[in-house]
Amino acid sequence: MKALLERIRAGELPVEEALEALVDLPFEDLGFAKVDHQRQLRTGAPEVVFGQGKEPEQILALVDAIRSRGQLALVTRVANEAAERTCAAFADAVHNPLARTLLVGERPRELTGPVAVVSAGTTDRPVAEEAAVTLGALGHEALRIDDVGVSGLHRIVAQRRNLEDARAVIVAAGMEGALASVVGGLVSRPVIAVPTSVGYGASFGGLAALLGMLTSCAAGVTVVNIDNGFGAACVASRMLHAPR
């Protein structure tokens, strides 16, 4: 586009023709996509690969491409085989089997936050772990609080100060997902609820928790997709990066 403008300036291109040419220019050339890429480079935010359903070679190639641009690579939902092959190829690769994540490259050192990452039961931990790893990759401190489901209410109430000190709270809970409502009523921080597919029967793969979190009687609760710990961390990160 710059070349085009310079040709106008030089009088080589009539305004009418330039106008027509500009309308047909691919969108990306208008610059804003480039701006996005530059911001990502500047902030050191990782490029993300959704690993599910991808072959080990595909993941290896994608990570290689990201690393060759000097960026941090985050692979989510990575299978063990793909993770092992990538770890063999990259010395600085870190595989978290619980979170099913793979981080390749240097992670941010100065962390902002913290963002509390709360899970209701043992089986909700992989989702919470995915959120925590993502937060770290995005440059935020994750404060983990596990096994504080509402069947033993004192456990979450005992964490009230910690939750209030965080800048946002991610709550991962399956079954009926009541923990999100309880946290939303307990503290004044924004609550990002992640329904998990933990449960059986009438939990219908996370539907019960999803509907429960959406209809929470507590204000300040917002919801992402079932098992989407990664997405919850992205939302929290956007909150922390928003201008003052």
Site residues (CB under 8 A) for its own copies, limited to 89-128: 120-123
Name the DSSP class of 106. Answer: P
Which of 33, 61, 65, 98 forms a contact with its own copies (CB under 8 A)?
33
Q: Which is nearer to its own copies, 53 or 91 (CB)?
A: 53
2 binds its own copies (CB under 8 A): yes
| Smallest distance from its own copies to CB 182, Å | 5
- Find the shortest distance in angstroms from Cβ 243 to its own copies: 6
Binding status of residue 38 toward its own copies by CB under 8 A: no
Q: If binding is defined by CB under 8 A, does position 88 make contact with its own copies?
A: no
Does residue 81 touch its own copies according to CB under 8 A? Answer: no
The stretch near its own copies (CB under 8 A) out of 10-18, 84-92, 99-107, 139-147 is 10-18
Give the separation between CA 126 and CA 54, rounded to whole angstroms: 20
Q: Contact at 8 Å (CB) between 176 and 212?
A: yes
19 sits near its own copies (criterion: CB under 8 A)? yes
Bridge partners, 88 (sequence order): none
Task: Please report whether residue 65 would count as binding its own copies according to CB under 8 A.
Answer: no
Answer yes or no whether residue 53 interacts with its own copies by CB under 8 A: yes
Closest CA to 194 of 168, 237, 233: 233
Q: Which residues contact 50 (CB under 8 A, 6 or more apart)?
A: 76, 77
Residues 167-186: x where in contact with its own copies by CB under 8 A, - otherwise, as a string: xx------xxxx--xx-xxx
Listed residue (62, 65, 66) closest to 54, CA to CA: 62
| String marking each residue 185-224 x if it binds its own copies according to CB under 8 A | xx-xxxxx--x-x-xxxxxxxxxxxxxxxxxxxxxxxxxx
* Range in contact with its own copies (rule: CB under 8 A) among 67-75, 89-97, 100-108, 164-172: 164-172
Q: Tokens 């990664």 label which residue?
A: 230
* Helix, strand, or coil (residue 7): helix
Number of H helices, E strands in the chain: 11, 9
Task: Determine which helix (DSSP H) or strand (DSSP E) holds 222, and give its type and residue range.
Answer: strand 221-223
